[in-house]
Structure 1
Amino acid sequence: MVGIVDVAKKEIVSAKTILVVVPDITNPFFSKVFRGIEAVAVTNGYQVILGDTGNDLEREKWFLNLLHQKKVDGMALLTAQTDAATVEEAAQRFPLVLACEYIEGSNITTVSLDNISGARKATEYLIDLGHERIGCIIGPLNSVLNRDRLKGFYQAMSCNNLIVDPVLVQEGDFSFESGFNLMMKFFAIGQLPSAIFAANDEMAMGVIKAIKSKGLKVPEDISVLGFDNLKFSSIFDPGLTTIAQPAFEYGEKVAEFLIRLINKEEIKHEHMFLANQLIVRQSCQQYVKNF
């Protein structure tokens, strides 16, 4: 039987128990990763307990301390705000798998996406459509995931000899509201791109809402491309072109690795990169210059 509880409020008794720590369970991406972990764990006779940090560093450290107290058999960490040394030390002593993000130079067993190639693929798609003035709304840059997505954006622009206007690169927080507000900022300062690459689908949807609020159309006036391929992206208006992440598969691989670590089995590849895919829908179109 699966136990999903707030571990900050209830005592944990270890009985083939895996703790999954997420930064924000209301984010559909993390919910889907959790379901993938749960599916494999249940099959192997493990309880799954959810720990939601709410993007709070101290809460993340509290969850990590449960490993030291041996109240859980292993941990899947879907966030990495804690300093690298602390996470490394925990991973050396206890079964721990890092997912979605990674720690540069570490030997922690990790399952992640090649975010650089994903963002580069997204930006190159916009460039292939004829866009040159492309904006980028990135997620929090204290995360290696977002630094990699920004790096991929810059790589694509540089390889095509395109200049990035610094005003058109803005840091959001992955929420719909930040996508909306940052697009409104572009309107306020009078600096409009012909296309926007948003580092997740929720921000991309916020961007589209802002564009529509100004009486403009997507993609006729401004093209928008997201990242994640959330379920709602296919039924949004217009359908969102995006980079798909295999979220459920993330979870499955994390659980497989974690159970092997718990059983002290060998893992040949400490860092697994999962493939990404461009999903083309209706939110982007060919750019035609008006002379």
Structure 2
Amino acid sequence: MTTMVDVARRAGVSVATVSHVLNDTRPVRPDTRAAVLGAIDELGYTHNTLARSLVTSRTHSIGLAVSAISNPYFTEILQGVEAGALEAGYSLLIADPHDDPEHERKVVQLLHERRVDGMIVAPSAEPAGMIEYLTRRDVRTVFLDRLVGDEHDQVCAENTGPVRQLVEHLADLGHTRIGLVAGLPGLSTTGERIQGYREGLRSRGLPFAPELLAGGNSEAEGAQDATRHLLAAPEPPTAVITANNAMTIGALRALRDRGLQVPRDIALACFDDFSWADLFSPRLTAIAQPSKDIGAAAVRLLLERLEQPDRPPRTLRLPCTFVHRTSCGCPDPGAADAQPSQALQERNRTP
């Protein structure tokens, strides 16, 4: 088994110099560093990270707690976190809190007991117990996707403006009855997207109708029930917005069960784009979140916090992108002779 002594001999330096190169504990001349790294590569030396952690009190690992890792949105966030951590020389320990406050608290404790240097957490709707645990133990933490207060480092996408944009787009197409399938109560994302919905109605002079706002609990089954509820209203919506990608699936199932075709019978737009959204027929008009960028930004914030533990907390909001496709009733941007659907033309002719 190759040791640091072997590396030092091959590179013609001291064992201490090899240690400084591996642990970044002291500046080393570029040519000396290159010689050490060359010897490491030639001999196939593997650094003992456990021994390093005993010396530096750091494990160079990050705990990541996000719910529904199978969700494409969180999968892309995970990719961003992983890329950022790998680039900085950190490994990841990943756990799923299942959006359950009690389980979330246990998951955070287990990650902490693995001696991670810091954590990145997508909090549940009731994160008080988890936050209290982290705060009392002074665990460096960045919250992502869902905000928990200005006293913490956190990163998320813009929510209010993009939903307002969806509402205004549908209103400009002639819709006056626009429904929203909202997310899990208590999440900052849910509140902000409802706010955007109401602002969009107000900006186009449309009244807020409580029967057109239904809660889908941020998951497909709940959204299916919520969409059925909207369709059962005395005056059902002519357009529906879903507030995340899982709920889009539930809404589509409910529309299919009613025999409704999008956008001929009802328009649909969604918050959260996903890689196969343009494979539907019609293709889904959506708000795309910068998921990978959110993950990478969370890593940067955490590393800054580890290096500057006393700096003021920061909240980063990243802009979203309006992806204009055809489920809203607009013509396909890729079709040269595209015309609005007949139903949409009739709707626009309605005084």
TM-score (normalised: structure 1) = 0.87
Fraction of identical pairs, as percent:
27
The residue aligned with 1:100 is 145
Counterpart amino acid of 1:24? A
1:193 equivalent to 2:237? Answer: yes
Asked whether the equivalents of residues 67 and 73 of structure 1 are also in contact (C-alpha less than 8 Å), the reply is no
8 Å Cα contact 2:269-2:327 kept in structure 1: yes
Is 1:234 equivalent to 2:278 in the alignment? yes
Equivalences for 1:243-262 in 2 at 5 Å? 243-262=287-306
Structure 2: runs of 5+ lacking an equivalent: 1-45, 47-56, 331-343
Q: 2:193 aligns with which of 149, 159, 184?
A: 149
Q: 1:117 to 1:189 in 2, by over 3 A?
A: closer
Q: 1:67 touches 1:94 (CA, 8 Å); kept in 2? A: no
Bigger radius of gyration, 1 or 2?
2
8 Å CA contact 1:114, 1:275 repeated in 2: yes
Alpha-carbon distance in structure 2 between the residues aligned to 1:142 and 1:17: 30
Distance 1:202 1:259, change over 3 A: same
Instruction: Report the structure, 1 or 2, having the larger helix content.
Output: 2
Deviations 1:46-67 (A, max 9, x none): 1101110111111111233347
Q: Which amino acid aligns with 2:322?
A: L
- CA distance in 1: counterparts of 2:281 and 2:120, whole angstroms: 35
- Pairwise mapping of residues 210-289 of structure 1 onto structure 2 (< 5 A)? 210-264=254-308, 270-285=314-329, 287=344, 288-289=346-347
Given that 1:84 and 1:103 are in contact with CA atoms closer than 8 Å, whether structure 2 keeps it comes out as no
C-alpha distance in 1 between matches for 2:171 and 2:135:
42
Q: What is the match of residue 5 of structure 1?
A: none
More strand by share: 1
Comparing 128-137 and 14-23, the one that deviates more: 14-23
Letter in 2 for 1:103: V
- Segment drifting more, 275-284 vs 229-238: 229-238
Question: Higher RCO, 1 or 2 (CA under 8 Å, sep at least 6)?
Answer: 1
1:120 and 2:193 equivalent? no
How far off its partner does 1:234 sit?
1.7
**For the Cα contact (< 8 Å) 1:257–1:267, is it kept in 2?**
no
Counterparts of 1:81 and 1:183, CA distance in 2 = 22
Deviation at 1:91, TM superposition (A): 5.0
Q: CA offsets per residue over residues 76-106 of structure 1, 9 Å max, x none?
A: 01124344586277358221101001123x2
